[in-house]
């Protein structure tokens, strides 16, 4: 129940997965839900008090019910803790102080309770008896329950979402996102995150509209609020008026028309007017996405992120599981190639029981290839699965987070060992399977000439490359303004890696989100990339731009860009250049001239 219902309230975030939808909010308490702090009119005070008292009662009923459901005598012995919680709920100070604060300070119940808790917390901290002092945590459990009830969030069980809702969370880990029954999710919105955070990437690959980095979503939105989200522009409207809803629906209609039109390019080759051909491939997270990749015109899978195989389970995938899944990939994408990236766990993707999820700097920690080099059995199991599947189509292996040549050598040595085992067991596989390196760490980019001696191909992961080159956390919305794909440093790094790869005679791909942005298409073409791998839905748009361009003009565009000193100048130049060059497609997100 909203205290002061927000009507037609616009909030701006970062569009993370395109699509416009209208639906009801489902608040998920993941990490921290910010509490709405609102001043109220004097006449609203009694209503707030009532709301608070009701939340206390609901909390009491829930605890009593939980207690009654415990039948096991062993467990029952511990149910005294629930009595402690019930006692806290009856605490005079907690109740009366909060009610007084609502009335005197004229604030909503959440804010008043928060102020009371601060006082109680200080009092608890001062207690000398350690046992009693530790009861603070019980106070926190109980208050979290009261807050949940105040906010209308009955069960914070992410697996039990019903209906078709827009999930509103402070943040969602990739594991959370996968745990939700996606049939019930019409959209995602989060307070934190950027365009390349994993919730964003996963939403795109699942085709679910998403807006991230809204900062205030969980504090402004109440469970059950009607929301409109535009995953392209990053706009969210809370409780829209009929008029606003209609204008978004009209926008949606035009976007759908544009999508249908653009699909005509899916089956055409990505060839420029002066005959330069590049390959457009798909990034996927699940083999179930292969039909969509093909439908959008992918000429292979440039990046299969295998993390999803490991998430949300207590055990590890077996060799047979790996084999069966990769075999499906090999067979379904045939005669094109499927690029399987080995486990890229760590950073913001944790593996229960393994990942050091308390690292100070997870992005710089034990992730990706580093993890595989430590847990070699996990790595070997995956490699065996890939090798066995390589007998059923064309597969190649991509190693994530390579920072130097030793890692490729070590990985190759392990691969050779696994190959020997298969030969001995007379299991067929592709003896010539190619091994590539992700170029996403600055040290890899500057030693690309050395890496090219050991790698059969490169794939530039700009999501991480930008993060590490510019020292900008890819999921931190507070520094997202510094996350600049066209930063002169990024362009120079890409140019250098491409030149090195070409000199060494190995193919060079790009598989970061930057590859899916039509505005950057000519910049990347002019930088000389051979392959572009992206979320399937973006493929037709990119094909269209390539097919309408000349390679020579993209070369001269890049030459001009390299003269500029700042990312802002480059971005501005590219945008206005593209708008002039393709007036129909780059004037705005939804070209006015496209009429249904
Ligand atoms: C990248 O870093 O650009 C990339 C493609 O990998 P991920 O987004 O999975 O880290
Ligand atoms: Mg990466």
Q: How would you write the pLDDT of the chain (596 residues) with one tens digit per residue?
A: 444 567 889 999 999 999 999 999 998 865 455 578 889 999 999 999 999 999 999 989 888 877 776 665 655 655 676 788 888 899 888 999 999 999 999 999 999 999 998 888 888 777 766 666 656 667 776 887 788 788 876 545 666 677 789 999 988 766 667 667 778 899 999 998 887 777 787 788 788 999 999 988 988 998 889 999 999 999 999 999 999 999 999 999 988 888 889 999 999 999 999 999 999 999 999 898 899 999 999 999 999 999 989 876 778 999 999 999 999 999 999 999 999 999 998 766 666 566 555 678 888 988 999 999 999 999 999 999 999 999 999 999 999 999 999 999 999 999 999 999 999 999 999 999 999 999 999 999 999 999 999 999 999 999 999 999 999 998 887 888 899 999 999 999 999 999 999 999 999 999 999 999 999 999 999 999 999 999 999 999 999 999 999 999 999 999 999 999 999 999 999 999 999 999 877 754 434 433 32
SS3 state at 21: strand
In a mutational test of the pocket of ligand 1, which residue from 344, 439, 444 has the highest number of ligand atoms less than 8 Å from its CB?
Answer: 344
The distance of Cα 368 from the centroid of its chain, to the nearest Å, equals 17
Ligand 1 close to Cβ of residue 530 (< 6 A): no
Given this model, what pLDDT does residue 265 score?
96
**371 CA → ligand 1 middle, Å:** 16
Ligand 1 close to Cβ of residue 171 (< 6 A): no
Write out the DSSP string of 384-442: HHHHHHGGGSEEEEEESS--SHHHHHHHHHHHHHHHHHHHHTT----TT-EEEEEE-SH
Annotated catalytic residue within 85, 170, 198, 487: 198
Nearest protein CA to atom 6 of ligand 1, as residue:
461
Nearest protein CA to atom 7 of ligand 1, as residue:
463
User: Cβ(340)–Cβ(396) under 8 Å?
Assistant: yes
**468 CA → ligand 2 middle, Å:** 10
Ligand 1 close to Cβ of residue 512 (< 6 A): yes
User: Cβ(78)–Cβ(112) under 8 Å?
Assistant: no
**367 CA → ligand 1 middle, Å:** 12
CB count in 10 Å sphere of residue 449: 14
Model confidence pTM above 0.75: no
Encoded tokens for 567: 């990312």
Ligand 1 close to Cβ of residue 487 (< 6 A): no
Which atom of ligand 1 sits closest to the CA of residue 461? 3
Distance CA 236, CA 12 (A): 6
**450 CA → ligand 2 middle, Å:** 20
Could you tell me the end-to-end alpha-carbon distance of the chain, in angstroms, rounded to an integer?
Answer: 39
The distance of Cα 23 from the centroid of its chain, to the nearest Å, equals 21
Place of tokens 């002066």: 274
Ligand 1 close to Cβ of residue 461 (< 6 A): yes
Which atom of ligand 1 sits closest to the CA of residue 459? 5
**23 CA → ligand 1 middle, Å:** 31
Would strands 165-169 and 20-28 be described as parallel, antiparallel, or unpaired? parallel
Distance CA 221, CA 295 (A): 37
Is 589 known to be catalytic?
no
Ligand nearest to the CA of 535: 1
Say what angle helices 462-470 and 488-504 make with each other, to 10 degrees.
Answer: 130
Which atom of ligand 1 sits closest to the CA of residue 462? 3
- List the Cα angle 387/388/393 in 5-degree steps: 85
In a mutational test of the pocket of ligand 1, which residue from 440, 493, 529 has the highest number of ligand atoms less than 8 Å from its CB?
Answer: 440
Given this model, what pLDDT does residue 36 score?
81
Place of tokens 């039909």: 291
**315 CA → ligand 2 middle, Å:** 24
Ligand nearest to the CA of 402: 2
Ligand 1 close to Cβ of residue 285 (< 6 A): no
Which atom of ligand 1 sits closest to the CA of residue 344? 9
Ligand 1 close to Cβ of residue 194 (< 6 A): no
- The secondary element (H helix, E strand) that includes residue 293 is helix 290-295
Encoded tokens for 102: 């609502």
Distance CA 255, CA 123 (A): 57
Is 198 known to be catalytic?
yes
Given this model, what pLDDT does residue 31 score?
46
**512 CA → ligand 1 middle, Å:** 6
Ligand 1 close to Cβ of residue 367 (< 6 A): no
**509 CA → ligand 1 middle, Å:** 13
SS3 state at 534: strand
Distance CA 173, CA 370 (A): 21
Strands (E), 160-207: 165-169, 185-190
User: Cβ(142)–Cβ(6) under 8 Å?
Assistant: no
Ligand 1 close to Cβ of residue 305 (< 6 A): yes
What are residue 303's DSSP bridge partners?
Answer: 283
In a mutational test of the pocket of ligand 1, which residue from 464, 472, 533 has the highest number of ligand atoms less than 8 Å from its CB?
Answer: 464
Q: Indicate the DSSP class of residue 173.
A: -
Ligand 1 close to Cβ of residue 59 (< 6 A): no
Given this model, what pLDDT does residue 461 score?
98
Which atom of ligand 1 sits closest to the CA of residue 305? 9
Ligand 1 close to Cβ of residue 535 (< 6 A): no
386, 392, 396, 401: CA torsion to nearest 10: -30
**463 CA → ligand 1 middle, Å:** 5
């Amino acid at each position: 129940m909203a205290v002061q219902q927000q009507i037609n309230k616009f909030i701006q975030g970062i569009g993370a997965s395109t699509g416009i939808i209208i639906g009801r909010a489902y608040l998920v308490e993941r990490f921290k839900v910010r509490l709405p702090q609102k001043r109220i009119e004097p006449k609203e005070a009694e209503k707030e008090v009532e709301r608070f008292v009701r939340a206390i009662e609901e909390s009491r009923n829930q605890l009593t019910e939980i207690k009654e459901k415990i039948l096991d005598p062993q467990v029952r012995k511990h149910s005294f803790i629930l009595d402690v919680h019930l006692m806290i709920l009856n605490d005079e100070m907690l109740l009366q102080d909060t009610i007084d604060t609502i009335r005197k300070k004229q604030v909503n119940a959440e804010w008043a309770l928060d102020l009371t808790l601060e006082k109680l917390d200080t009092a608890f901290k001062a207690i000398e008896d350690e046992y009693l002092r530790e009861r603070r945590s019980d106070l926190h459990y109980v208050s979290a329950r009261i807050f949940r009830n105040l906010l209308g969030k009955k069960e914070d069980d992410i697996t039990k979402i019903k209906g078709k809702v827009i999930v509103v969370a402070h943040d969602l880990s990739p594991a959370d996102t996968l745990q939700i029954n996606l049939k019930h999710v019409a959209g995602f919105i989060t307070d934190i995150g950027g365009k390349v955070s994993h919730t964003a990437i996963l939403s795109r690959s699942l085709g679910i509209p998403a807006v991230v980095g809204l900062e205030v979503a969980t504090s402004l939105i109440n469970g059950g609020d009607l929301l409109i989200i535009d995953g392209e522009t990053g706009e969210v409207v809370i409780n829209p008026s009929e008029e606003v809803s209609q204008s978004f629906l009209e926008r949606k209609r035009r976007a759908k028309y544009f999508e249908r039109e653009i699909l005509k390019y899916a089956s055409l080759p990505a060839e420029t007017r002066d005959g330069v051909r590049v390959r457009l491939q798909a990034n996927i997270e699940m083999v179930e996405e292969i039909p969509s990749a093909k439908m959008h015109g992918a000429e292979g899978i440039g990046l299969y992120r295998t993390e999803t195989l490991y998430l949300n389970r207590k055990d590890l995938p077996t060799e047979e599981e790996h084999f069966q899944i990769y075999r499906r990939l090999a067979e379904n994408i045939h005669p094109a190639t499927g690029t399987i990236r080995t486990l890229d766990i760590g950073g913001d993707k944790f593996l229960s029981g393994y990942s050091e999820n308390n690292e100070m700097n997870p992005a710089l920690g034990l992730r990706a290839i580093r993890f595989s080099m430590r847990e070699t059995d996990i790595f070997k199991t995956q490699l065996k699965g890939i090798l066995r599947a390589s007998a059923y189509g064309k597969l190649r292996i991509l190693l994530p987070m390579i920072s130097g040549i030793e890692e490729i050598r070590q990985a190759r040595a392990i691969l050779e060992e696994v190959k020997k085992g298969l030969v001995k067991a007379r299991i067929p596989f592709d003896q010539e399977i190619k091994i590539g390196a992700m170029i996403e760490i600055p040290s890899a980019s500057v030693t690309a000439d050395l890496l090219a001696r050991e790698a059969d191909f490169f794939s530039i992961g700009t999501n991480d490359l930008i993060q590490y080159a510019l020292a900008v956390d890819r999921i931190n919305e507070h520094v997202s303004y510094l996350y600049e794909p066209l930063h002169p440093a990024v362009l120079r790094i890409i140019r250098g890696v491409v030149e090195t790869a070409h000199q060494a005679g190995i193919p060079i791909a790009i598989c970061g989100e930057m590859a899916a942005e039509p505005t950057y298409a000519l910049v990347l073409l002019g930088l000389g990339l051979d392959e572009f791998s992206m979320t399937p839905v973006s493929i037709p748009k990119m094909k269209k731009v390539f097919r309408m361009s000349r390679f020579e003009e993209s070369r001269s565009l890049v030459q001009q860009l390299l003269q500029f000193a700042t990312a802002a100048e480059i971005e501005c130049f590219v945008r206005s250049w593209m708008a002039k060059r393709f007036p129909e497609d780059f004037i705005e997100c939804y070209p006015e001239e496209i009429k249904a």
